[in-house]
């Protein structure tokens, strides 16, 4: 959530940034927010004055009663009751204004970093780091991963439909082993890089989902358990970042590095075609996440560090990848800057997104009330997160790019995790 003082003091910068996102009526929304805040201050001042007047008159009533001037005291007591009614009405008005103000603030997305390119759709994203080598070329007989999955018994989409519905794959046999091995590989590399591993809950309450920005923006994409008012997490970022909600840190504690593996649940609207077949788009998938809480002066240096770390994971897996810097129109609601990693699918002949790495600056920490002790009092920390990595499209690319007549070869780095060097066809 954007800071009110930022909207007041840096309105032109905010409008310039929101223009990159094509935010409709941004100026009108900001003006309304400032007007509501002015009303809030005026109402608060009026209430404070009434409280002071009530306290003064109450003391006078006491003094009159002690002096035996009961009629005068009773008259002033009636005035105290009138003031109390005014205070109650003022508090109700103040609560209404605060509610309207927060709801208006929640409609504004984060302001993009100046280096974020302007643009409307994913076609306007900047290729920040292209793949430097030669893309793998497969023979015409090469198959997409959903066909390989049937031959090698990697996962079964129909079993998922039977037990749940479309978009819930069931990994079996060596496919389940591959998924488990990848999770362990990612977690081991993350903890070796200084991240502390957590195993967070998969269900969160509304306050948690709101604090990291999933609510109200992504409410339609989240699975909601209405009876208990819990939400299934769309990413481990949500519970991991919220571990530090309402926390004040010492600056020496920063940066704080967290990682965790969770299943993720997303009610993304599906569509038809090869680009969403197989594991290209699913409603439940496994992902290992990295999160950092950082000093504002270090956050973009840390973003570069996280990008390098995730790139190293893909290098170890031998997957050709490129890095995009997202344009304003494709940027997530809470992000100030995002880099997307895409791996090359040789069988599908297209790039598949496997990770997003983002810096949110103070947008999440303002909602979280996540602060550190600064020289001039408590200040908001910066938050960052990234996928390290999401499994479905990693598995898709591994299957497609490494298929041979003798089986699907596995990257050497996974041999010790899986106890095998290749996947074999199953009858």
Q: Is 214 annotated as a binding residue?
A: no
Residue 197: inside a domain, yes or no? yes
Asked whether residue 267 falls in the same domain as residue 304, the answer is: yes
Q: What is the CATH number of the domain that holds 20?
A: 1.10.287.40
Residue 338: inside a domain, yes or no? yes
186 burial class (0-12, 13-18, 19+ CB within 10 angstroms)? buried
Last residue of a domain, which of 106, 138, 162?
A: 106
Q: Is 266 annotated as a binding residue?
A: yes
Q: Is 46 annotated as a binding residue?
A: no
Asked whether residue 167 falls in the same domain as residue 55, the answer is: no
Q: Is 353 annotated as a binding residue?
A: yes
pLDDT of res. 278: 93
Q: Is 190 annotated as a binding residue?
A: no
Six-digit token string for 21: 């996102």
Last residue of a domain, which of 106, 136, 165?
A: 106
Q: Is 356 annotated as a binding residue?
A: yes
Residue 135: inside a domain, yes or no? yes
Strand order of the β-sheet with 248-249 is: 248-249, 371-374, 377-380
Residue 114: inside a domain, yes or no? no
Asked whether residue 21 falls in the same domain as residue 145, the answer is: no
Give the chain's domain count. 2
pLDDT of res. 427: 72
In the beta sheet, which residues pair with residue 126? 325
pLDDT of res. 269: 55
SS3 178: helix
Last residue of a domain, which of 106, 139, 159?
A: 106
Per-residue pLDDT tens, the chain, 427 aa: give them: 999 999 999 999 999 999 999 999 999 999 999 999 999 999 999 999 999 988 888 888 788 778 887 777 777 888 888 888 999 999 999 999 999 999 999 999 999 999 999 999 999 999 999 999 999 999 989 999 999 999 999 999 999 999 999 999 999 999 999 999 999 999 999 999 999 999 999 999 999 999 999 999 888 999 999 999 999 999 999 999 999 999 999 999 999 999 999 999 999 755 455 567 899 999 999 999 999 999 999 999 999 999 999 999 999 999 999 999 999 999 999 999 999 999 999 999 999 999 999 999 999 999 999 999 998 899 999 999 999 999 999 999 999 999 999 999 999 999 999 999 999 998 7
pLDDT of res. 274: 54
pLDDT of res. 76: 81
Range of 144's domain?
122-423
Residue 177: inside a domain, yes or no? yes
Q: What is the DSSP string of 250-288?
A: -GGGPSEEEEEEEEEE--PPP--SGGGSTTSS-SEEEEE
Asked whether residue 141 falls in the same domain as residue 10, the answer is: no
Asked whether residue 164 falls in the same domain as residue 196, the answer is: yes
pLDDT of res. 54: 87
pLDDT of res. 245: 98
Instruction: Give the count of alpha carbons within 13 A of 270, CB side only.
Output: 18
pLDDT of res. 275: 66
Cβ pair 312, 408 in contact under 8 A: no
Q: Is 387 annotated as a binding residue?
A: no
Cβ pair 212, 237 in contact under 8 A: yes
Q: How far is CA 282 from CA 22, 214, 269, 356, in A?
A: 29, 19, 10, 17
Cβ pair 76, 60 in contact under 8 A: yes
Q: Is 376 annotated as a binding residue?
A: no
Asked whether residue 211 falls in the same domain as residue 259, the answer is: yes
Q: How far is CA 268 from the centre of its chain?
A: 15
Asked whether residue 87 falls in the same domain as residue 138, the answer is: no
Q: How far is CA 329 from CA 120, 121, 210, 278, 281, in A?
A: 4, 6, 22, 28, 21
Asked whether residue 369 falls in the same domain as residue 223, the answer is: yes
Q: What is the pLDDT of residues 66-99, one digit of tens each?
A: 888 777 777 788 888 888 899 999 999 999 999 9
Q: What is the pLDDT of residues 93-130, one digit of tens each?
A: 999 999 999 999 999 999 999 999 999 999 999 999 99
Cβ–Cβ contacts within 10 Å for residue 332, how many? 16
Six-digit token string for 411: 């990257």
Instruction: Give CA–CA dist 33/3, Å, rounded.
Output: 11
Instruction: Give CA–CA dist 146/279, Å, rounded.
Output: 7
pLDDT of res. 392: 97
Instruction: Give CA–CA dist 115/304, Å, rounded.
Output: 14
Q: What does the longest C-alpha to C-alpha distance in the chain come to?
A: 107
Asked whether residue 133 falls in the same domain as residue 57, the answer is: no
Asked whether residue 247 falls in the same domain as residue 359, the answer is: yes
Q: Return the C-alpha torsion angle 225, 228, 233, 237, nearest 10.
A: 160
Cite the beta strand spans of 295-362 per DSSP E.
321-325, 337-345, 350-361
pLDDT of res. 286: 98
Q: Is 235 annotated as a binding residue?
A: yes
Residue 116: inside a domain, yes or no? no
Q: Is 267 annotated as a binding residue?
A: yes
Asked whether residue 77 falls in the same domain as residue 133, the answer is: no
Q: Is 276 annotated as a binding residue?
A: no
């Amino acid at each position: 959530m954007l800071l009110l003082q930022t909207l007041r003091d840096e309105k032109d910068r905010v409008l310039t940034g929101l223009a990159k996102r094509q935010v409709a009526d941004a100026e009108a929304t900001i003006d309304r927010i400032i007007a509501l805040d002015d009303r809030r201050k005026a109402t608060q001042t009026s209430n404070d004055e009434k409280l002071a007047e009530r306290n003064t008159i109450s003391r006078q009533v006491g003094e009159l009663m002690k002096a035996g001037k009961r009629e005068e005291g009773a008259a002033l007591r009636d005035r105290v009751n009138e003031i109390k009614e005014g205070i109650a009405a003022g508090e109700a008005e103040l609560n209404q204004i605060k509610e309207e103000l927060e709801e208006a603030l929640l409609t504004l997305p984060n302001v993009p970093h100046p280096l974020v390119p302007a643009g409307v759709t994913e076609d306007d994203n900047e290729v920040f780091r292209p793949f430097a080598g030669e893309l793998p070329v497969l023979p015409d007989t090469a198959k997409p991963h959903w066909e390989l999955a049937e031959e090698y018994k990697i996962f079964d989409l129909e079993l998922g439909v039977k037990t749940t519905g479309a978009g819930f794959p069931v990994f079996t046999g060596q496919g389940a082993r591959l998924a488990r091995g990848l999770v362990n590989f990612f977690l081991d590399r993350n903890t070796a890089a200084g991240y502390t591993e957590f195993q967070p809950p998969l269900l969160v309450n509304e306050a948690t989902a709101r604090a990291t920005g999933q609510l109200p923006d992504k409410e339609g994409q989240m699975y909601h358990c209405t009876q208990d008012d819990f939400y299934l997490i769309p990413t481990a970022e949500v519970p991991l970042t919220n571990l530090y909600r309402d926390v004040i840190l010492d600056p020496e504690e920063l940066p704080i590095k967290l990682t965790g593996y969770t299943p993720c649940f997303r009610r993304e609207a599906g569509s038809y075609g090869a680009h969403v077949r197989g594991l290209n788009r699913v409603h439940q998938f496994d992902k290992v996440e990295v999160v950092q809480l950082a000093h504002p002066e270090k956050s973009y240096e840390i973003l570069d560090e996280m990008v390098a770390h995730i790139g190293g994971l893909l290098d170890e897996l031998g997957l050709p990848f490129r890095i995009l810097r997202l344009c304003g129109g494709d940027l997530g609601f809470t992000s100030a800057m995002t880099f997307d990693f895409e791996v090359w699918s040789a069988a599908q002949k297209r790039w598949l997104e496997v990770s997003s790495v983002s810096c949110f600056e103070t947008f999440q920490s303002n909602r979280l009330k996540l602060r550190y002790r600064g020289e001039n009092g408590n200040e908001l920390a910066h938050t960052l997160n990234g996928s390290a990595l999401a499994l479905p499209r990693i598995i898709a690319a591994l299957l497609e790019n490494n298929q041979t007549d003798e089986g699907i070869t596995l990257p050497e780095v996974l041999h010790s995790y899986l106890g095998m060097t290749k996947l074999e066809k199953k009858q």
